[in-house]
Structure 1
Amino acid sequence: MKMSRRMFLRSSAAGSAAIVTGSFADRAFATSDTVAIASLHDLSGPLNIYGVPSNLCMQVAVDEINAAGGLLGKKVDLKAYDTQSDVNKNPQYAQKAILSDRAVMIQGAMTGAAREATRPVLRRYKTPFFYGSIYEGGLCEKNSFCVNTGGNQQVVPLLEWSFQNLGKKLYYIASDYNAPRNFGVWNHVVAKREGGTVVADDYYPLDVTDFTAAITKIQAAKPDIVHSCLVGGPAMSFYRQWAAAGMLKKIPIISIVFGCGNEHEVLSPDESDGITVAYNYFQELDTPKNKEFLAKVEALAGKERPYINGDAFGGYSGVMLWAEAVKRAQSFERDAVMAAFESKIRWDGPAGVMTTDGPTHNTTQDVHIITVKNRVWSLIEKKEQIAPDTYQAKCNVFTNPNQTEFLMPEI
C-alpha cells in the first residue's frame, strides 16, 4: 500500500502510558510475534520538513526488514510519534513508547534540544537511543548511538576543501542555538589548521526574516567564503535577499545544513545555484544500492515523495544498523545489542560502507562534498571512510562508561 504525506503526518501512538514495575529486561516481546521500535519525529509544525522524510526512511527500513522475514522470528512494528515541533513532546513520548509499546529501540529527537531532553529518559529505562540526525559531534554516551555525521566528518571536510579552493577568509552566519554555536567552534579549529581566518561569528534568532543588515556586514567584511548555518523556514529569506543583492555569484556560500530542509527545491536556481554542502548521502548518488533504496521509498510514499537528503537518510541507516546489531547479538536486549554495535559492524548501504565504532558509539563513513545547480546536486569530491572524532581520547565508552556530557573540540 502506498502511503501519502497525510498518512505520514499521523502519529500511530494512542492511549496513555502504563505504569509498570519490575525489570525492563522482561519485555513483552518475549511471547509476542512482533517487536516494537519507536520513531520520535516532528511530523507537524515548522520542523516537519525535517521530520517527515526521516520518519519515512525509518518505515522503509522496517518494511525492508519485515519483507526479508523480520528479526529473530519477529516482525518489527514501528510506533511513530509526532513530536509536533515541540521539544517537550520528545521525552514525554519516549517514556510512553517504552512503557506502553515496550519499544526496544527509539530513534529521533532530531534537534539538539530535543536530543538532550530525551537522553536522560532513555538512560533511566535502559532503552537504546539511535540518533539519526547530522550533528555537531561530541555525543559520547554508552546508551546512545550516532549513525549520521558528526562535526569532524561533515564540517571539517567541507571547511578543508573551502579553505584550499575558495579562499582563507571565512564569515560565519548562523542561527542562535546550541548546535550552530558548537559547529562554529569547528570553523576556528579548521581555520587554524588550514591557515585561514574566521572574520566574524554572526548569530541570529530563529525567527529573523530580515537579513539586510547582516548582508551589509558581510559586504563590509569582504570574506572569501560565507559559511551559513541558518536553519528553519525564516532563514530562507537570507538566501533570497543574498541573491537579490547580487551576492550569490560574488562570494560563495558553503553550509552543513542547507539542503536538510530541501531548501534547494523551494528556492529558485537563481537563489541557490553554486551553494556547496557536505553530506554522507545525497539522492543523486548513482549506485545500484541507492537506486534500489529510492525505488523502495517511492513504492511506499508514491511519486510525490519528499527528496531524501543526508539528514533524512539517518532514519534508514539507524534502523538498518540496529537490525544488524540485533542479528549479531541474537537478542533484542540492550546490553547484547550494545556489545554487538561495539564489535565493528560493517554495513554496505546506499551511502556506501558504514562501520560502527565501539569506543565512540558513532560510525565511520564516506562523506560527499556536493554543489547544487538547477535544483540538482552533483559531486565535487568524495572523502572516504572518515572515522569519528575521539576528542583527544576523551570519547571512549569503555574507559568512561558513565560519561553523559557533550565533548567539544579544542581550538
Structure 2
Amino acid sequence: VVAFSVGEEELAGIDTKPLVGHLAAWNYFMSVDTPANKEFIKKWQAFTKNPKRVTNDPMEAHVIGFNMWVQAVQKAKTTDPDKVIDAIVGVKAPNLTGGVSEMLPNHHITKPVLIGEIKADGQFDVVWKTDKLVPGDAWSKYLEGSKDLIGDWKDKKCGNWNTKTGKCGGA
C-alpha cells in the first residue's frame, strides 16, 4: 500500500504494527539523517517540551517558505506584499533533507521526492529518493481543466495563465 498523505504526525499515537512495510511518498521525513534536520528536531522538541513530538513534511515546507520570505523581504527592502512577490522568485533556502530549494516563477519550490517505508516506531525508513530536486508544478499537464495553464508570477504576474488564450484567469 502506498499513501500520499500519511506522515509521522498521522502515525503518532496509533498502533503502527499493522502498517509496517506500507509506503508513503513525501518530500521530507523526520528520519532523514542530516545535521540540519537533527537540529530542527531538537529545537522543535525543546519548544514543545515533548521529547517524543514528531516533525512532518508540512513543517519542513513552512521552514523553507519562511526562510525564503525573509530573504525576499531583505532583497525587496520592504514587507510590501507586491514587492516581496516580485523579489521571491529565484530565492534559495536550505531544506532539511540536505539540499537547497529554490522558489520558481510559479511560486512552487524545488524539493526532493522520498519514498518511505513505515517502521514499527511510527517513523519511516527512506527506501528511495530522487537524485535531484524536483520542480513543483502549479498545474497538471495531464488534466483537461489545467493542461493549458501555468503559474508565472515573474513575467505574467498570474497564477493561472492560459497559454492557449494568452489570458490570466484560466479558461
Correspondence for 1:256: 4
Q: Is the 8 A contact 1:279 1:369 kept in 2?
A: yes
TM-score, with structure 1 as normaliser = 0.34
Q: Which amino acid aligns with 2:149?
A: K
Q: Secondary structure at the match of 1:371?
A: strand
Q: Which amino acid aligns with 1:385?
A: L
Larger relative contact order, structure 1 or 2 (CA cutoff 8 Å, min sep 6): 2
Correspondence for 1:119: none
Q: Is the 8 A contact 1:370 1:381 kept in 2?
A: yes
Q: Which amino acid aligns with 1:369?
A: I
Tell me how far apart the structure 2 counterparts of residues 259 and 289 of structure 1 sit (CA, whole Å).
19
Q: Secondary structure at the match of 1:277?
A: strand
Distance 1:315 1:348, change over 3 A: closer
Correspondence for 1:296: 43
Tell me how far apart the structure 2 counterparts of residues 385 and 306 of structure 1 sit (CA, whole Å).
28
TM-score, with structure 2 as normaliser = 0.77
Q: Secondary structure at the match of 1:340?
A: helix
Q: How many aligned positions are there?
A: 152
Tell me how far apart the structure 1 counterparts of residues 36 and 83 of structure 2 sit (CA, whole Å).
29
Q: Which amino acid aligns with 1:268?
A: D
**The one of 373, 377, 394 aligned to 2:149:** 394
Deviation beyond 3 Å, 4+ runs, structure 1: 390-393, 402-407
Distance 1:258 1:387, change over 3 A: same
Q: Is the 8 A contact 1:264 1:272 kept in 2?
A: no
Q: Secondary structure at the match of 2:24?
A: strand
Tell me how far apart the structure 2 counterparts of residues 406 and 309 of structure 1 sit (CA, whole Å).
33
Deviations 1:258-299 (Å, cap 9, x if unpaired)?
126x23233323321011111111111111111111122122
Q: Which amino acid aligns with 2:21?
A: G
Correspondence for 1:84: none
State the Cα distance separating 1:316 from its structure 2 match. Answer: 2.1
State the Cα distance separating 1:364 from its structure 2 match. Answer: 1.1
Deviations 1:221-276 (Å, cap 9, x if unpaired)?
xxxxxxxxxxxxxxxxxxxxxxxxxxxxxxxx10111126x232333233210111
Q: Mapping of 1:324-335 within 5 angstroms?
A: 324-335=71-82
Correspondence for 1:200: none
**Alignment of 1:323 onto 2:78:** no
Q: Which amino acid aligns with 2:38?
A: K
Q: Is the 8 A contact 1:264 1:372 kept in 2?
A: no
Deviations 1:165-208 (Å, cap 9, x if unpaired)?
xxxxxxxxxxxxxxxxxxxxxxxxxxxxxxxxxxxxxxxxxxxx
**Alignment of 1:370 onto 2:125:** no
Q: Secondary structure at the match of 1:370?
A: strand
Q: Which amino acid aligns with 1:330?
A: K
Correspondence for 1:380: 127
Deviations 1:108-148 (Å, cap 9, x if unpaired)?
xxxxxxxxxxxxxxxxxxxxxxxxxxxxxxxxxxxxxxxxx
Runs of 5+ unmatched residues, structure 1: 1-252
Runs of 5+ unmatched residues, structure 2: 142-147, 161-167
Q: Mapping of 1:87-106 within 5 angstroms?
A: none
Supply the RMSD in Å over aligned alpha carbons: 2.4
State the Cα distance separating 1:400 from its structure 2 match. Answer: 5.9
